[in-house]
Structure 1
Amino acid sequence: MQLLAATAVSSMLVGVSQASLYPGQSNFNHTCALQTPFLSCSANAYPNITDSCCTETYGGLVLSTQLWNTYTGLESQGQVLPKDSWSLHGLWPDFCNGSYTQYCDLSRQYDPLPSPNTTTGTPSGTPIKPYNGSSISTFLAPFGKFDLLAYMNKFWIAQAQPNGDFWGHEFSKHGTCYSTFNLPCYGPMYRKHEEVIDFFETAISYYETLPTWTWLGAQGIYPSNSTTYSLIDFQSALVKGFGALPYIACSGPKYNATAAGNGTLDNGGTVLSEVWYYHHVLGRVQARHGVPINASINGGSVGNCAKAKGALKYPVRTVGSEV
């Protein structure tokens, strides 16, 4: 019944791109200290039951995502990857049934290169105009968040574009699709871009609890250009660390397009590239009370990597691309 309810709600909400996820929502103070926090995707986590500023009722399946890139393309400009660490990709709100929407509030569109370029990813969606204002990275200075900016420039790293452009993409595409980051939730004393800073700090707080490099290393798994690994190696190490099975993504040649996999039906990717950690959250996403759940919660895939023994590469980063 809960899944059916979530499906019904998500079908009504997909494609919304207004200034409020819930039109008509009050911008009076939302005093969450007086509200009972509910677990997202539970029977009480719906806007007609609870305050959607105090319990996540829109994107209740929260994915903290990380990248393993081997270069940035902007090394000459000092944009490098963090040594002995995966980098932060983002904090994504999926609907409880596993579907998702994007660019939910075009009045807060700070992405210079929207991808996709419509709200639905199809020609029938609302076009998303590229942002041409000051980089979202400049939003931190009025709040005195220089330490936050330094941290982001170390661990939240873009490839082939300035970091600020990447952060603008992540907030605009994903951050605007949470109920608890909705503008009315910030009340009458709201300061411009306050929710952007809140989103950045929250994304980092989840990232800091998910030391992918350390969890893999604890099982003897380190980047190598000679050693290969099996998918089960990564899955076992990350389940041990996280407590649930994340989604593991791979890029590179498909296994059945390689010499080793020629003639097989295994068309999974062969180069480790990304991990998505799934959570339900208690109360506000900003409260950082995430409950690990399996990526297969809705019967979906837990990755796109090759499953054959020894099929995966975890490549060493390019010389000069990390510090």
Structure 2
Amino acid sequence: MVVSFILAASLLGAVSSTIASSQHHSIIHTFPNLTACASETLEYSCENTTAVKDSCCSVVGGGLVLQTQFWDTYTGLEKKGQLLPKDTWTIHGLWPDNCDGSFDQYCDLSRQYDPNPSPAVLPDGTHVPPYKGPSVETFINDFGRTDLLEYMNTYWINQGGSNEEFWGHEFSKHATCTSTFDVACYGSTYKKHQDVINFFDSVIRAYKWYPTWDMLAAAGITPSNKTTYTLSQFQNALKAQTGAVPYLGCAQNGTVLSEVWYFHHVKGSEQYGHFKTLNSTTTSTCTATGRIHYYERTATSERVVG
């Protein structure tokens, strides 16, 4: 009886190990081929004095990189289980503005995965076709990245639409205008949608540098339906921790805080390079003289996350 139990436990352990091993090997790496970058002389984007030789090694165009976040108080899809993470701002994206503050969008329509592109027509008259294929969620699953999908469904939340539509929008509008996510950067072993997964990982990497809720709370600034704050209180609290003044966006004539953008120049690739934090080059839409609401979220719109 004891022998049978030991044998069964042993077999169970072997099966578990086989499954774990299979799951481990099913994950496909998505990093680009940056072997040529070891011999490159790198400078921060928008600060280089000579032309960049390899646009996979350094960000060319879109060199003013913004890590952007939302403070939403509801999702509109609560009945479908789409909730906001408690005490945490959510991801908006990773944007490649040009060095002069302008920006390009939807730069590669062969990698257009946005079901509702906005704008639908680019300044040169090019029409951006709505994407009608499988959602980007299927791309993530194809690469065995259930860990990535879980994180995105926790911290990268849409308002009024599905999360995967939002993710497809952010990749198509922004990542396709960043040189280090070009398909050519992944070399001859490129697997379709590898760049998409690599971008999502890179967005999360940058997002984790800026725990906005914690930085504000540490300065005594927390969401409230009664207390209001000044723009300088928000700016000073975030500058004290990041070394620079980010852009703060407000709705309702500048009185309701809704978003933050952290500005950078990048040395190396956007995926793994060094981000130098800069003062915002965009004027805040929050009132500079009045009081600003940083509202609490609707209780039924939040969930506690680990």
Question: What TM-score do the two structures reach when normalised by structure 2?
Answer: 0.86
Aligned to 1:272: 257
Aligned to 2:96: 93
Q: Give the distance between the partners of 1:45 and 1:58, measured in 2 at CA.
A: 14
**Alpha-carbon offset, residue 29 of structure 1:** 7.5
Aligned to 1:137: 137
SS at match of 1:140: helix
Q: Give the distance between the partners of 1:55 and 1:279, measured in 2 at CA.
A: 14
**Cα separation, partners in 2 of 1:45 and 1:198, compared to 1, 3 Å:** farther
> 1:37–1:282: 8 Å Cα contact kept in structure 2?
yes
How many correspondences in the alignment? 272
**Alpha-carbon offset, residue 128 of structure 1:** 0.7
Question: Residues 1-323 of structure 1: matches in 2 within 5 Å?
Answer: 31-44=36-49, 46=51, 49-120=52-123, 124-252=124-252, 254=253, 269-296=254-281, 301-309=282-290, 311-323=291-303
Q: What is the alpha-carbon root mean square deviation over aligned residues?
A: 1.5
**Alpha-carbon offset, residue 42 of structure 1:** 1.7
Deviations 1:213-257 (A, max 9, x none): 0110011000000001111110001111111010100002x2xxx
SS at match of 1:57: coil
37-46 vs 82-91, which moves further: 37-46
Q: Give the distance between the partners of 1:155 and 1:235, measured in 2 at CA.
A: 23
**Alpha-carbon offset, residue 283 of structure 1:** 0.8
> 1:28–1:188: 8 Å Cα contact kept in structure 2?
no
> 2:34–2:56: 8 Å Cα contact kept in structure 1?
no
Aligned to 1:263: none
> 2:91–2:156: 8 Å Cα contact kept in structure 1?
yes
**Cα separation, partners in 2 of 1:285 and 1:28, compared to 1, 3 Å:** closer
> 2:34–2:57: 8 Å Cα contact kept in structure 1?
no
Deviations 1:33-90 (A, max 9, x none): 33233211122463xx421110111110000000000000001111011111000000
**Cα separation, partners in 2 of 1:240 and 1:29, compared to 1, 3 Å:** closer
Deviations 1:125-179 (A, max 9, x none): 2011110111111101121111010000000000010000000000000010001
**Cα separation, partners in 2 of 1:45 and 1:71, compared to 1, 3 Å:** farther
AA of the residue aligned to 1:210: Y
> 1:62–1:278: 8 Å Cα contact kept in structure 2?
yes
Larger Rg: 2
> 1:250–1:304: 8 Å Cα contact kept in structure 2?
yes
Deviations 1:271-311 (A, max 9, x none): 00000000001110111410001113xxxx331111124x1
**Alpha-carbon offset, residue 191 of structure 1:** 0.6
**Cα separation, partners in 2 of 1:211 and 1:28, compared to 1, 3 Å:** closer
Structure 1 unaligned segments of length 5 or more: list them: 1-26, 255-268
Moved >6 Å (runs of 4+): none
Q: Give the distance between the partners of 1:45 and 1:196, measured in 2 at CA.
A: 30
AA of the residue aligned to 1:81: L
**Alpha-carbon offset, residue 119 of structure 1:** 2.3
Q: Give the distance between the partners of 2:261 and 2:33, measured in 1 at CA.
A: 35
> 1:104–1:119: 8 Å Cα contact kept in structure 2?
no
Q: Give the distance between the partners of 2:241 and 2:302, measured in 1 at CA.
A: 24
Percent identity over the alignment is 53
> 1:72–1:159: 8 Å Cα contact kept in structure 2?
yes
AA of the residue aligned to 2:210: L
Q: Give the distance between the partners of 2:127 and 2:92, measured in 1 at CA.
A: 24
Question: What TM-score do the two structures reach when normalised by structure 1?
Answer: 0.81
AA of the residue aligned to 1:38: E
**Cα separation, partners in 2 of 1:28 and 1:232, compared to 1, 3 Å:** closer
AA of the residue aligned to 1:239: K
**Cα separation, partners in 2 of 1:29 and 1:229, compared to 1, 3 Å:** closer
> 1:30–1:187: 8 Å Cα contact kept in structure 2?
no
Q: Give the distance between the partners of 2:245 and 2:98, measured in 1 at CA.
A: 19
Q: Give the distance between the partners of 2:238 and 2:251, measured in 1 at CA.
A: 19
SS at match of 1:165: helix
